[in-house]
Amino acid sequence: MKILALSLLRIGDFFQQVHLFQQVLTQFPKGELHLVCFSDIKGVEKLYPNWKFHFIPRNAIQRELVERDRPWYRGLYLMEESLHSVFSTEWQLVLNPTNSSFSARLMDCIQGADKRGTQFKDGQTAGWNQELHYLNDYYRSLPKPEETWIEITSKALGFSLPPAPPIRLREQGEIWLNPLTSDSRKNWPFANWKSLANIFVELNHKVRILGSPGERDWIAKHFPKVNCGAWSFSELRDQAENCRLLISGDTSVPHLLALERVPMITLFLGPANTYKTSPRLSGISNLCVKVPCGPCEHRGTCSQPTQICEDSIRVREVVQVAQVHLQERPANQVILGPEVFWIDAKGERHEKESVRRGSPSRGSTSTMAG
Amino acid sequence: MVDLPTRDGLRLCSHVNPQGEAQIWADSILGASAGQWIVLGVGAGFHLRALTLRFPEDEFLFLDFDANVELRAPIGDRKKIIILEPLFESGQVFNQVILNCLKTGFRVISFKPSWSGLETNFRRIESLLLGHQGECNPLLSADAGLKKAFFSVPATLEINIKSITETDQTNPSIRWRRLRALRELVT
């Protein structure tokens, strides 16, 4: 059975979609999975050798379409070259977990017996169901939906994901810090990462700073006292067993390492929304902020004179939550500041009581006064 | 003073400072290396030399309609000059020029002074290479639906992907649907 899925988002979204793809293959164990992705995320190909990837050179196509001294029809040529086998195959199942205008139009160019997800058919929108309407019309505006993005996306395509798997505890290993994300609004201040690294070193933990291979010199310069993990995604996955605890912003790394069931603390800042894109793993912690402007829109810039959310999570809060994961501190001794809430390993939300009274919480809470 | 060529008495470059004019033209080209350039108009060759020096790693294809071009500046080995017939067939140019460059991609640039006396021909080849409305190359005209959409764009509007897919079609052709998808990448 030939199955095609359009995965035309960023790399972190791809790693979230892997849960869906695994579920699809559980349901169709003899299925041959093909994926259409943008070439920006070509690095994932090595991670899944059993899946067939078709990469669209988006940047090159966009350049052909917008630069006046280039022939715009070469954009069409590049698309047809990169998707030649996709367009010429009669697929049994075509899935669109991307939900973008481009992917919906692309669905109209693909031949398939069973096409699911946002799509056009002969130039008109088609294929709607209740979940797709919910996802398309309401989900984006919901601050605290009951299901994560990948859960509702999977449902819209007719697949229910199993419960999130539990973390796999490591008795030994390093604490990995991943300071950079692709969006500056999701970044926690660099000085905080430095302090965090120093504190863990003083507490006799082995610390490693993660980054891409191109960031090796940058890491060595700014974190001379700790190990450097400037790795490709396949190297990162190969080393995952050595990670006792990951601390990261909301970026691709926690989503990849969630597939390896690595214990982690994720910091949700700027547009990152813990209720939508929490790593799909039970037993992890998410530290989030309560600011009037957040979570902000995914596209755009910070609306505030200074990014107030990045200063809301303090180093001591991260250290204390990490100590809970490392079983060095009981959970009830975590002291949270007024702008922070913590979703703990059991999925319970903790926040400072005085703030909760002023701003009613929508979820289950247990108070941990500081 | 170098003896500079003319066409029907018209100058093909500055006769005062051709090197300076060529340098200003080459410096005005925005963007990075193209890999492959198609330059419309050979003239006396000063602008070709300036361009090849500015992009030393690139390949160059120079097109002209004048079989009597007289180069006054050395332009190196990374070049090929094609002299076209004034009434060229678009299919022939597509096979001879465009097909060879489609894989690598190319930029089309013009040195307008060298068009003197042959402006209509040069405008036509530029239109064909860039996919403007005046000429529809075989890549586009093979699809009847797309060809129709292509020529339904007002003559005053230079063709781009938005204008060609502006109106939704009933039973759109495969090519039109692909173009409609591509439009989403730039809107």
A336: amino acid identity, one letter: L
Would you say B90 and B137 are in contact if contact means Cβ atoms under 8 Å apart?
yes
- How far does B17 lie from chain A, in Å, by closest CA? 27
What does each C-alpha distance from B160 to A78, A89, A105, B118, B186 come to in angstroms? 16, 29, 18, 26, 11
Angle at B182 between CA A233 and CA B162, to 5 degrees: 145
Alpha carbon of B102: minimum distance to chain A alpha carbons (Å): 7
Pairs of CB atoms within 8 A across A/B: 88
Tokens linked to B7 = 């066409």
Q: What is the pLDDT of residues A124-166, one digit of tens each?
A: 899 999 999 999 999 988 999 999 999 999 999 999 999 999 9
Q: Which residues of A touch B134 (CB under 8 A)?
A: none
| B46 vs B38: CA distance, rounded Å | 16
The shortest CB-CB distance from B182 to any of A61, A69, A108 is to A61
B161–A102: do the CB atoms touch at under 8 Å?
no
Distances, alpha carbon A255 to alpha carbons A54, A94, A101, A235, in Å: 22, 24, 25, 15
Nearest C-alpha of chain A: how many angstroms from B1? 34
Looking at CA atoms only, how far is residue A328 from chain B in angstroms?
50
**Residue (of B32, B67, B31, B64) closest to B48 by Cα position:** B64
Q: What is the ipTM of this complex?
A: 0.92
Inter-chain CB proximity B130 and A72 less than 8 Å: yes
Q: Smallest Cα–Cα separation from A159: which of A112, A201, A107, A96?
A: A96
Q: Chain A within 8 Å of B28 (Cβ-Cβ)?
A: no
Contact B180 A79 (CB under 8 A): no
pTM: 0.91
User: pLDDT value at position B70?
Assistant: 80
Q: Could you tell me which residue, A305 or A117, shows the higher pLDDT? A: A117
Is B105 within 8 Å of A122 when comparing Cβ atoms? no
Q: Is B147 on the interface with A (CB under 8 A)?
A: no
Q: Please tell me which of the candidates A62, A100, A122 has its beta carbon nearest to residue B171.
A: A122
Give the residue, A250 or B136, on which the prediction is more confident.
A250
Give CA–CA dist A354/A359, Å, rounded: 9
Highest mean pLDDT out of A123-127, A221-225, A284-288: A284-288
